[in-house]
Chain A
Amino acid sequence: MADAKPLIQVKNLDLYFGAFHALRNVSVDFHAGELVGLVGDNGAGKTTLIRVLCGIHTPTGGEVYFDGERVRAFHPKLAIDQGIETIQQSVGLCDNLSIARNFYLGREPVKRILGIPFLDFAKMRGEAKKVIRAFGLRDNVSVDDEVERLSGGERQSVKIGRAVEFKNRVVIMDEPTNHLSVREREHVNELAVQLRDQGLLVIYITHDIFQVHKLADRIVIMENGEKIEDASTDSMTADELEEVIRQGGRQVEKMEA
Chain B
Amino acid sequence: MIGVALMLIAFSVIDFSGWWTVRTISNVVHFSSILALIAMGQALVIVSKEIDLSVGSVYGLTGIAFITFEQSLGVPGAMLAALGIAATCGLVQGIAVVWGGLPSMIVTLGGLFTFRGIIYVWTGGSVRNFSEEARAHWLTRAFGGEFLGFEVVLFWMLLMLVILSAMLKLTRFGNHLLATGGAADSAESRGVRIDRVKIVTFMICSLMAGFAGIVTLADRPQTHVTIGDLLELEAIAAAVIGGCLLSGGRGSLLGAVLGAFIVTSFRYELIALGAPSSWFITFVGVVLIVAVIFNQKLARWAGHNV
Contacts and interface: CB of A to CB of B under 8 A. Distances in A.
A139 to B, nearest CB: 20
A108 interface: yes
Contact of B188 (A56, A81, A117): A56
Contacts of A110: 171-172
Interface stretch (B63-71, B86-94, B125-133, B174-182): B174-182
Contacts of A75: 191, 193
Given A96-B249, A148-B304, A149-B303, A91 B186 contact: yes
Interface of B: 166, 170-172, 174-176, 178-179, 181-183, 185-193, 249-250, 303-305
A95 B182 contact: yes
A88 B189 contact: yes
Identify the 5 closest CB pairs spanning chains A and B, nearest first.
Answer: A96-B182, A106-B191, A96-B249, A77-B191, A106-B190
Contacts of A108: 172, 175
Contact of B249 (A80, A91, A93, A94): A94
Contacts of A148: 303-305
A118 B170 contact: yes
Contacts of A153: none
Nearest to A88: B189
Given A76-B189, A94-B249, 9 more contacts: A77-B191, A90-B185, A95-B182, A96-B178, A101-B178, A105-B179, A106-B176, A108-B175, A119-B172
B171 A92 contact: no
Interface string A164-206: 0000000000000000000000000000000000000000000
B179 A95 contact: no
Interface of A: 54, 56, 75-77, 79-81, 86, 88, 90-97, 101-102, 104-108, 110, 116-119, 146, 148-149
A79 B170 CA distance: 26
A204 B259 CA distance: 50
Given A94-B182, A97-B182, A117 B172 contact: yes
B178 A94 contact: yes
A94 B48 CA distance: 13
Contacts of B182: 94-97
A222 to B, nearest CB: 21
A80 B170 contact: no
Contacts of B191: 75-77, 79-81, 106-107
Contacts of B181: 96
Contacts of B193: 75, 77
B44 to A, nearest CB: 15
A216 B183 CA distance: 33
B250 A92 contact: no
Contacts of B166: 118
- In the complex, which of the residues B174, B182, B192, B250 has the most CB atoms of chain A within 10 Å of its own CB atom? B182
12 contacts: A75-B193, A76-B188, A94-B179, A96-B183, A97-B179, A97-B182, A101-B175, A105-B175, A105-B179, A106-B192, A119-B170, A149-B303
